[in-house]
Structure 1
Amino acid sequence: MRWRIPLCLLPAALLLGAADEPQLVPDVSQREVEIQYSFTGADLLLFGAIVYPDGRKPDKPADIVVVLKGPEQSIVMREKQKVAGIWVNADTARFRSAPSFYAMASSRPIDKIVDERTAAIYELGVDKLQLSPSSLNDSAELSRFQEGLVDLRNRNGLFVERPGTVEITDGVLYRARLPLSARVIVGDYTAETFLVQNGRVVAAAVRDITVRKSGFEQFMASAAENWPFAYGLVAMALAVGMGWAAGAIARRI
């Protein structure tokens, strides 16, 4: 006799199966980050708890990886070469989906937590980012431009890696701090948390963060976007007025 599970019981069966896996309850210190003229960056706290089935913690401590990622951008990288004493653009490479910001922290070095394949699937590390190059076929050239992009973003504080900085208390509570550079763009950001056991990602959770302009910067950005013609006229009038005022002052001196 063959046993059949009624369709109405399938959701319950799936929930019971999922209950055998630990769950993450994450949060972030700021859901909204406002950019004003005095913005010098922010320090975000990513924290949360690990909920194990029946409260039973594993014998081997689990690992936590947190990733803060900004909106994706299409970027063109240009290599400059000196020709006859003049710097000119030489080779170029286009990346269709480079994150505008990427920060990662982990409880241990990534290579001690997961293998290369898992790290690539979840983009755990700047060297595992899927940048989607569209204009290069040569692997050596592609690698060189990718390294240049990563180096540029590192120097601007837009790519950050902090292995071994996630603190886990009693195997249940975790916390990590990640810096948000003053050079970040506005948009929707994601704070992802991954729970890793025995080299396998067993749970993941996401919290959304919004970075937006406020105050006078918000007014100027809205004016330029919603009333571009009027914005251009006002900008021209201000430029002419300031030029006339500077000339008048110079004549009096």
Structure 2
Amino acid sequence: MAAMALLTVAPVLMGQREPVLVPEVSQSRVEVRQGFTGADLLLYGAVIDPAGSASRTQYDIVVVLKGPSQPIRLREKERIAGIWMNSGSSDFQSAPSFFAVAASSPIEEIVDPRTAAIYELGTEFIQLSPTGQIEPEEQARFARGLVEMRERLGLYKEEPDGVRISEGVLYQARIALPSNVTTGEYTAETFAIANGRVLASATADIEVVKVGLEGRVVVAAQRWAPFYGLGAIILSLGMGWFAGRLFAKS
């Protein structure tokens, strides 16, 4: 498939000066079933230089895999008079549910911090879009706390040597999705970088979906939300009544 893509874009490169990325992914659909233990994604492709073999440009490759973004409120707990209580909070409008960066070299050796921030080339550069009235230093502290929490859960990660480049043209990266991933649309964005500049980028889409009984429950909850909610209430009331009768007899 990658070879066919290369043949397709080759004629277009004749009039170009910048490199072109041709990305592929081992599976564009990840099915989450009961007992799902995670999945390994292979992201691979080629960086094509219009100068061909005459070019001596050495490219670095960075792959950023992001899951669907969600709003989140992060609360901080503090022990007051021996009781743990909420002492502060911060809201973030678009925190990615999953974020992984794989690179052919450490990011700080490839680009400067400003470029890394523009393209989100690292967990410290995730654009969380904080909202509300809070001091910038406090926002930064809450943002670091969110990143650290999700790193412990395996949802945010960095792999500075996670991309292998062959013959200066072909690249591949493996990124593991943990069992607790959120379903939805994922994007894998690949960047070709040389001399501290991002010269080309390309995006591949990956869909993570629940299938089987869990998938049917999710679809039912989305399509018939009022009936699903009513059914859940009736079921909980029925189980409560049955438990009450059972213990009353005993």
**Common fold by TM > 0.5:** yes
2:50 counterpart of 1:53:
yes
2:155 counterpart of 1:158:
yes
May I ask how many residue pairs the two structures share in their alignment?
239
Q: 1:131 offset after TM fit, Å? A: 1.2
Root-mean-square deviation (Å): 2.1
2:208 counterpart of 1:206:
no
1:155 partner letter: R
Q: 1:238 offset after TM fit, Å? A: 3.5
- Tell me which residue corresponds to 2:186: 189
Please give the alpha-carbon distance, in whole angstroms, between the structure 1 residues aligned to 2:133 and 2:35: 40
How does the TM-score come out when normalised to structure 1?
0.86
- Sort the Cα spacing of 1:121 and 1:216 in 2 relative to 1 into closer, same or farther, 3 A: same
Please give the alpha-carbon distance, in whole angstroms, between the structure 2 residues aligned to 1:164 and 1:196: 15
Q: Please, which moves more after superposition, 78-87 or 136-145?
A: 136-145
Q: Looking at CA atoms only, which structure, 1 or 2, has the larger radius of gyration?
A: 1
Please give the residue correspondences for 1:38-187 in structure 2 after superposition, counting only pairs within 5 Å. Answer: 38-56=35-53, 58-187=55-184
1:45 and 1:178 in contact (8 A); partners too: yes
1:96 and 1:134 in contact (8 A); partners too: yes
How does the TM-score come out when normalised to structure 2?
0.87
Q: 1:58 offset after TM fit, Å? A: 3.4
Q: Please, which moves more after superposition, 194-203 or 218-227?
A: 218-227
1:203 partner letter: A
Task: Structure 2: give runs of 5+ residues left out of the alignment.
Answer: 1-11
Percent identity (aligned): 52
String of CA shifts for 1:16-42, please: whole Å, max 9, x gaps. 896111111110011011122211211
- Tell me which residue corresponds to 1:5: none
- Sort the Cα spacing of 1:104 and 1:246 in 2 relative to 1 into closer, same or farther, 3 A: same
Moved over 4 A (4+): 15-18, 240-253
Task: Structure 1: give runs of 5+ residues left out of the alignment.
Answer: 1-14
2:14 and 2:50 in contact (8 A); partners too: no
